[in-house]
Structure 1
Amino acid sequence: MHLSVLGFDIYKGYLDLAAQQRVLDDVRDIVRSAPLVQPITPRGNKMSVRMTAAGAYGWVTDRQGYRHARTHPGGQDWPAIPESVLRVWKDLSGSARDPECCLVNFYGEGARMGLHQDKDEGSLEWPVLSISLGDDGLFRMGHSERGSKTQSVWLQSGDVVVMGGAARLAYHGVDRIRFGSSTLLENGGRLNLTLRVVT
């Protein structure tokens, strides 16, 4: 089912259970090569999500600021973006370019992501695509102006969101998860994979 909310294209149940499991297996390979880290914001606050990435670039944050980086904080190169993930991008993004970054966010119990814009890329003409796996997450969407009216939708495992056009610079975030609402991740939690063109 396809929904359009404030310019966000939401594909409910796009990945069936078998496809979700394939992507999850590939994410586990990513995490083995580039372990999850708990990022620190430029102000010194620990984020509630843990992160890693795949592709030519990862997104990192520390006292030096928010940026895309060629290497994991541990110094190793990021692993390649898996074909199971690239297939979703090719099917839904409408982009002529392949993604250069697949950011992996893990939400444990109580984790959230405040409203923010994705604007650290070299060009904003390319969409951002997001894949949800595991527990339900309450996804909040706004407009390009901070403080604008927002709408929320629960994202379930297998849902895909594409942010392009008017939604490309819209504020968005995850207010909370329903911990334990999915059995995909054995110990609960939510994985969010965010694909983007960086350069």
Structure 2
Amino acid sequence: MAKSVRRKLRQMERVRIRSAEERVQQILDERTERLAARRDAASAPAEALPRALVCGAGRERFGIPVDGVAEVLPSQNCTPVPGGPPALIGLLGRSGRLVSVIDLGLALGLEPSSADIENRHFVLLRREQPQVALRVERAYTVADILPLTGEEAAGFRNDAVTGYGKIQSGRADQDETLSLLDIDRLLRPFLPSSSLSGV
């Protein structure tokens, strides 16, 4: 009986040793998997932030998607359009083509922050027919935009505003919230529906 008890104790000891070895091996395998997953995550390309032209209209800042902007021009005299909507401030000639100029602030229902029309900019949009430029109070910079989510991004006050964001620079003086614009939605009231993409 004593021999059988000793034999059972030895078997239990071997099982315990094997179990400890198995646990060590399991821990090493788990660590290896975690390190491999971390390396995969580090090598995956970071999600690109949207780039936008940051403009001022009224007392606010707006982001116009860079891929929708052809050129930023100094303000010019426009030929008024009789009977046109108030936001359509006129027409100008550009490379032999007529360009409709829409005041961004008026199109969004904002009051101008200053009467200084001389220092404003025109943002020529990248579209074929009809060509459109937005008059803004100032075109500041092209920047990567960090979109806001959750409560910070709730409650768009205008159909043309698709979200809110902040300039991704880390500078405290540029911690202002921007309204991100959808150009097609902004232009919808001013253009025939056949000239808008996606309509």
TM-score under structure 1 length normalisation: 0.23
Which structure is richer in relative contact order (CA contacts within 8 A, separation 6 or more)? 1
TM-score (norm 2): 0.23
| Greater helix content | 2
